[in-house]
Amino acid sequence: MQALLLTIGDEILLGQTIDTNSTWLGQELNAIGIQVARRITVSDGLEDIQDALRYGWTHMDLVIMTGGLGPTKDDITKKAIASFFQVDLVFHHETYERILRIFERIGRPATEAHREQCFMPANSQLLPNGMGTAPGMWFEEKGHILISLPGVPYEMKSIMQDAGLPRLASQPGLIPIIHRTLLTAGKGESELAARLDSIESSLPDYIKLAYLPALGQVRLRLSAYGGQAVLRQQEVDHFADLIYQEFGTAIYAEGDTTLEATVGRLLQERGLTLATAESCTGGAIASQITSVPGSSSYYLGSVVAYHNALKTRQLGVPSEVLNQFGAVSEPVVQQMVRGVIQTFQADVAISASGIAGPSGGSPEKPVGMIWVAVGNGKDIRTCELRLGKDRGKNIEMTAVLALNELRLWLLEHQDVHGTGISF
């Protein structure tokens, strides 16, 4: 079953609103085996809507429209649908009475615009809206289905969860799509692609491998279409195994999680506490760690020593070391780890110092040169990054790679355990 998601609204085209409805619908439909084959966004104009509707009705099994059902003047979706099906708009008493009751409850009068909202295309079946005034609508003809929903995200979701998705899931002939998503960190998309070349070539045509890159991370998604679910699952598992064999610990988790949550879980399992000492990342590592709910059970805090004098005063980096090697150097990040472990009484720590840019570099230490250290008081692992010239990207990338370094350090030091937060 192939679907078109059709979004109505000038505010989306103008970039004033981000279309999160289509994102949510894509996830939910995929989960019940409906493939979103296309998304179209058009303006609030009658012709634009009908044109897109005609396309969807001709080429797809299912069209889901969002937007254009509210009581304001630019909302003309219903007129477009009625005219498309060549049916009249019919007054729907039940809906009007429900709207009157809502307004009675909140002590305000319903307006004429709300009465107009109750005219529905004659061939519509209503999907109740528990969150607002405009109901959803279901149209069905010759094996094609059209669903029209309000654009307000929580109303749209509520109608789909209560009525739309269950009814779609019960359509005959739906085969769920099988996915596995392997999350990698520290490897570039092209390195992954080069090393996966032979695995990719051996994939049957009903299994696809997609690369979903973000800064410092790439998600590898295997998707199997059609066939018998059990067999497909086995095949997907087989190729996932091959990818694990190729990349080992570069894969940090699967599915719907994050690197920072994975590191957090490792720390929590081993009763280890973490502190950070940051220079050029300016709090970005701390910020990423604390984005995880419950991180207070292993994360103590950070010293952001943006100014060099604070590296000495707060982290005990000797000023001679700073003078001899410079703030962006291996001995400094090593001492930053030792210093914050001592000050915060942490088990393990991460530190970073570098030249984030866009200016401030020198021939020996160019913009994008960043030192990272991870470890405990006994064993510290360092690495030197050579990134680009974009400040924001350098900072975010360093945070990701530093967290990944700590993850690898923890995997290599299985014997290191703590007792949790002790003060």
Instruction: Tell me if 226 contacts a second copy by CB under 8 A.
Output: no
Burial class (CB within 10 angstroms; exposed 0-12, middle 13-18, buried 19+) of 109? exposed
Q: Are 34 and 26 in contact (CB under 8 A)?
A: no
In angstroms, the CA 276 to CA 281 distance is: 11
The number of C-alpha atoms within 13 Å of 72 and in the hemisphere containing its C-beta is: 7
Task: Quickly list H helices, 183-279.
Answer: 189-195, 197-201, 229-247, 259-269
Nearer to a second copy, 212 or 231 (CB): 212
Question: Does residue 71 belong to the site contacting a second copy (CB under 8 A)?
Answer: yes
Residue 99 three-state SS: helix
Q: For residues 30 and 154, give the distance between their C-alpha atoms in angstroms, rounded to a whole number.
A: 20
* Helix 330-344, helix 308-315: angle, nearest 10: 40
Please, what is the minimum distance in Å from the beta carbon of residue 273 to a second copy? 8
Q: Which member of 152, 322, 333, 352 binds a second copy (CB under 8 A)?
A: 152
Touching a second copy, residues 326-355 (CB under 8 A): 343-344
- Binding range to a second copy, per CB under 8 A, among 264-272, 331-339, 386-394, 407-415: 386-394
Among 207, 289, 370, 373, binds a second copy (CB under 8 A): 289
Cα(386)–Cα(366) distance, integer angstroms = 9
Q: Does 213 bind a second copy (CB under 8 A)?
A: yes
The closest of 129, 133, 132, 126 to 147, measured between CA atoms, is 126
Among 46, 140, 141, 154, binds a second copy (CB under 8 A): 154
Contact flag: residue 357 with a second copy (CB under 8 A): yes
The single residue among 34, 42, 259, 317 that binds a second copy, judged by CB under 8 A, is 42
* 14 touches a second copy (CB under 8 A): yes
Q: Binders of a second copy among 48-67, rule CB under 8 A?
A: 48, 52
Residue of the chain from 166, 226, 377, 388 that contacts a second copy (CB under 8 A)? 388
Kindly indicate which of the ranges 80-88, 165-173, 218-226, 240-248 contains the residues binding a second copy, using the contact rule CB under 8 A: 218-226
Report how far residue 385's alpha carbon sits from residue 105's, in angstroms, rounded to the nearest whole number.
62
Using CB under 8 A as the binding rule, the residues of this chain from 87 to 126 that contact a second copy are: 105-108, 110-114
Judged by CB under 8 A, how many residues of this single chain contact a second copy?
114
Token duo for residue 237: 């598992």
Contact 297, 268 (CB under 8 A): yes
Contact indicator for 252, 407 with CB cutoff of 8 Å: yes
160 lies in the binding site for a second copy (CB under 8 A):
no
Shortest reach from residue 309's CB to a second copy, in Å: 5
Which residues from 235-264 bind a second copy, rule CB under 8 A?
none
41 binds a second copy, rule: CB under 8 A? yes
221 binds a second copy (CB under 8 A): yes
Q: How far apart are CA 162 and CA 180, in angstroms?
A: 28
User: Quick one: which of 304, 317, 402, 403 contacts a second copy (CB under 8 A)?
Assistant: 304
Please tell me whether residue 361 binds a second copy under the rule CB under 8 A: no
